[in-house]
Chains A and B, each alone.
Chain A
């Protein structure tokens, strides 16, 4: 086998480039000068040109259009499904520690207290599988409102919520009833069970709130035990529950609501609220009784002062 002359070896890259339309003009000129005088390289050049021609045909031969169209239709359907499930999330600092906020295109679907400033610490994201994407900038407006809420400059978080993450209709009903407990008010698990028409399902209500996908926004911190105990919040973080209630003006003594310092409302036809010393209302269990941190908050929900105990004339000195 005879080896190629050095000059042919040296020009080969340019020859391939020129034959396949990739050489800059000076290199192409050199190649054309060389192949005019070198028969083997002329043949090589012709072969590469032929390959380029065939490849050009392959380039312009599309696969059957029906295949591509059907594939695109299937893709669009899957993307639509993924889009509706995809959780965009961010991890943000807050006075209560790092907090994860996540949303789908339907609304906010996750709020979670984290042990560290890292989405890897999130159980809720893990449960969402791979369909999550980090998008702090997108979630920043929610973070801002949350900070305003935690600083006491805002009393409502009117966020669109995606309640599809509730695991059952029962759980959804519990979350909706809890969301209806206003700022500065306190209800009990028994009270919520009554509100949703399942007065016996107190434990199930507590379980449902344990899985509250959006704490703070759905204010499960406003739901306490039958005796006003600050039980069950974000695992064992009852101190967070106390902080949130204190923020809303609800008096506590670390483990329990200080009922004596709160206005009481037990549903009555005249929708009147009382001071805790009105009859036996202050001693009744928090079944149907709802508590308010202030007269203003009670009256903001449409209640009026009791005409017997006259909280308007004898307000509590909190």
Chain B
């Protein structure tokens, strides 16, 4: 597969991969760096990709790996700099951007998603915010589709517990 074809896929998928990483990361600049890293890695592996591969799922899998690696190195850095961690938390949940962007419930829901254990958070984001199929999520998280589904359901249960009383009920009639 040649480079020009790859650029076609960048045009098609950059937006949603950027949104995915923007949702996972705490700052826009971070999402920018991570999405660049994702596509540069993808380009390097492009020739080895099977012609019938699901490129979208493949790109999400790379983005997920890039994010998890980034998080690991961030964690190492945070351990070394506790004060930085405190500042980051502030940015995560009380940033003016987040406030302006969403209403209170959405902010609370976003916060609840951020507090999820990592695999549940990734599975939930891939499924509920990017509507990936469970087999593609399994590919991203290196687990079976059933395990991916279980992560999403566990995530929903945790979010429900976290938001208990904050989110108005919706009528059950169909």
Where chain A touches its partner, the secondary structure class is: helix
A43 within 8 A of B: yes
Set of chain A residues within 8 Å of B31, measured between Cβ atoms: 63, 67, 71
Please state if A48 and B47 are interface contacts (CB–CB under 8 Å). no
Asked if A72 CB lies within 8 Å of chain B CBs, one says yes
Interface-forming stretch among A49-57, A109-117, A208-216, A285-293? A49-57
A152 to B128, CA, bound (A): 63
The docked-state distance in angstroms from the alpha carbon of A304 to that of B33 is: 65
Bound: A51/B153 CA distance, A: 12
Q: Shortest beta-carbon distance, A42 to chain B, in Å?
A: 5
Residue interface mask B159-174, A partner, CB < 8 A = 1: 1100110011111101
Given A75-B10, A76-B7: A131 touches B22 (CB 8 Å cut-off): no
Number of residues on chain B facing chain A (CB within 8 A):
46
Chain B, residues 1-31, CB within 8 Å of chain A (1/0): the string is 0010011001000110011001000001001
Q: Does any Cβ of B come within 8 Å of A5's Cβ?
A: no
A133 B156 Cβ-Cβ under 8 A:
no
* B46 interface hit (Cβ, 8 Å): yes
Would you call B3 and A133 a contact (CB within 8 A)?
A: no
**CB of A218, distance to nearest CB on chain B (Å):** 26
Assuming A47-B164, A78-B40, is B10 touching A72 (CB within 8 A)?
A: yes
Cα-based distance from A181 to B75 in the complex (angstroms): 59
Residue-wise, chain A 50-89 has the 8 Å CB interface mask toward B (1 for contact) of: 1111110111011110011011101110110011001010
User: Do A54 and B129 have beta carbons less than 8 Å apart?
Assistant: no
Across the interface, do A133 and B44 meet the contact criterion of CB distance under 8 Å? yes
Q: Does A252 contact B (CB under 8 A)?
A: no
Does B36 make an interface contact (CB < 8 A)?
yes
Are B14 and A68 in contact (CB-based, < 8 A)? Answer: yes
- A221 to B131 alpha-carbon distance, docked (Å): 60
A76 near B32 with CB under 8 A, answer no
Confirm or deny: A94 has a beta carbon within 8 angstroms of a beta carbon on chain B: no
Q: With A67-B22, A67-B32 as known contacts, state yes or no: A133 contacts B14, CB within 8 Å.
A: no
Q: Which residue of B lies closest to A60 (CB)?
A: B129
A70-B32 contact given A54-B106, A55-B128, A63-B22, CB 8 Å threshold = yes
Across the interface, A50 reaches (CB within 8 A) one of B35, B44, B153, B167, namely B167
- The docked-state distance in angstroms from the alpha carbon of A108 to that of B129 is 45
How distant is the Cα of A148 from the Cα of B22 in the complex, in angstroms?
Answer: 53
Most buried by B among A20, A52, A75, A138: A75
Binding site of B, secondary structure by majority: helix, strand, loop or mixed?
helix
Contact at A71–B14, with CB atoms within 8 Å?
A: yes
Q: Does B147 reach chain A (CB closer than 8 Å)? A: no
Interface size class of A (residues with CB under 8 A): 35 or more
List of B residues within 8 angstroms of A51 by Cβ:
109, 156, 159-160, 163, 167
Contacts of A70 on B, CB cut-off 8 Å? 32
Kindly state whether residue A32 has any CB partner on chain B within 8 Å. Answer: yes
- B19 A63 Cβ-Cβ under 8 A: yes
The residue on A at minimum CB distance from B159 is A51
Taking the closest CB of chain A, its distance from the CB of B163, in whole angstroms, is 7
Complex: A119 Cα to B19 Cα, angstroms = 37
Residues of A within 8 A of B32 (CB): 67, 70-71, 74
In the complex, residue of chain A having the shortest beta-carbon distance to the beta carbon of B167: A50
Residues of B close to A53: CB separation below 8 A: 170
Contact with A along B88-114 (1 / 0, CB 8 A): 000000000000011001100110000
Q: Are A74 and B36 in contact (CB under 8 A)?
A: yes
Measured in the bound complex, the distance between the Cα atoms of B44 and A72 in whole Å is 18
A-B contact pairs, 7 of them (CB 8 A): A20-B156, A47-B163, A48-B156, A57-B102, A58-B110, A62-B15, A82-B44
Known: A64-B28, A79-B40. 18 other contacts (CB 8 A): A20-B156, A32-B174, A46-B169, A49-B172, A51-B156, A51-B160, A54-B106, A54-B167, A59-B131, A61-B106, A70-B32, A72-B15, A79-B6, A79-B43, A82-B43, A86-B43, A105-B3, A134-B48
